[in-house]
């Protein structure tokens, strides 16, 4: 189990490095990583996290498509010529999407909590459902390339770090502690990249 935990940590670091750089290949790692994480979470009784891995795989495909082909706008090159943008730019969350995301998160949190308390022997249903539901929203925000996705991950990562220490997954807990710090740095980096591209 410790070997799986280490592999999971290495994949998580690679994913974080690619996300920090806003590199589209983070989505390729997003297809492999859920299989490793899923096994680990199932074995440790984190059933909502396990179920979330299927969502991660679907979102990896969606995120890649959004980043690669999601920008239909045009930009101006150095010569003043209009050119087609290929990759989605980093932007801010819109108000409409903030309200929808908040509502989605609350409904998901309640629904996942109900599933965990009704159909599983989860010992941490509140925190497991909290991080899983907020992760679902944060991953969608990442697929849309909103800079604020880092703030959502900051909350998820901090809570997960404590949860994984409690559940006896030390390497993954350490990874999420590192993720917490990197969420702050990632937010600042993406804001800088967004300003530079404007």
pLDDT tens-place string over residues 73-119: 555 555 655 556 567 899 999 999 999 999 999 999 999 999 999 99
Q: Quote the pLDDT of residue 86.
A: 65
Q: Quote the pLDDT of residue 171.
A: 83
Q: Quote the pLDDT of residue 82.
A: 57
pLDDT tens-place string over residues 126-149: 999 999 999 999 999 999 999 999
Q: Quote the pLDDT of residue 49.
A: 79
Handedness of CA 126, 127, 128, 129 (dihedral sign): positive
Helices marked H in 70-124? 95-119
Six token digits for residue 163: 């949860």
User: What are the C-alpha distances in Å from 18 to residues 73, 97, 117?
Assistant: 24, 25, 36
| Distance separating alpha carbons of residues 148 and 144, to the nearest angstrom | 10
Is the confidence at residue 191, as pLDDT, over 90?
A: yes
Is the confidence at residue 196, as pLDDT, over 80?
A: yes
- Confidence at 167, pLDDT banded by 50, 70, 90: confident
């Amino acid at each position: 189990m410790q070997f799986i935990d280490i592999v999971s940590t290495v994949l998580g670091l690679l994913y974080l490095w690619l996300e920090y750089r806003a590199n589209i290949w983070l989505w390729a790692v997003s297809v492999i990583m859920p299989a490793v994480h899923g096994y680990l979470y199932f074995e440790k009784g984190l059933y909502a996290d396990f179920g979330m891995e299927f969502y991660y795989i679907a979102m990896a495909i969606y995120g890649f498509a959004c980043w690669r082909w999601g920008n239909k706008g045009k930009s101006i090159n150095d010569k003043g010529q209009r050119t087609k943008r290929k990759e989605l730019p980093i932007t801010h969350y819109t108000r409409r999407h903030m309200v929808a995301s908040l509502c989605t998160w609350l409904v998901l949190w309640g629904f996942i909590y109900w599933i965990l308390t009704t159909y599983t022997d989860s010992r941490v249903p509140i925190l497991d459902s909290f991080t899983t539901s907020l992760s679902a929203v944060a991953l969608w925000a990442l697929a849309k390339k909103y800079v604020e996705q880092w703030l959502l991950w900051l909350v998820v990562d901090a809570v997960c770090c404590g949860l994984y220490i409690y559940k006896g997954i030390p390497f993954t807990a350490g990874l999420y502690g590192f993720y917490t710090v990197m969420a702050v740095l990632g937010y600042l980096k993406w804001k800088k990249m967004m300003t530079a591209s404007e």
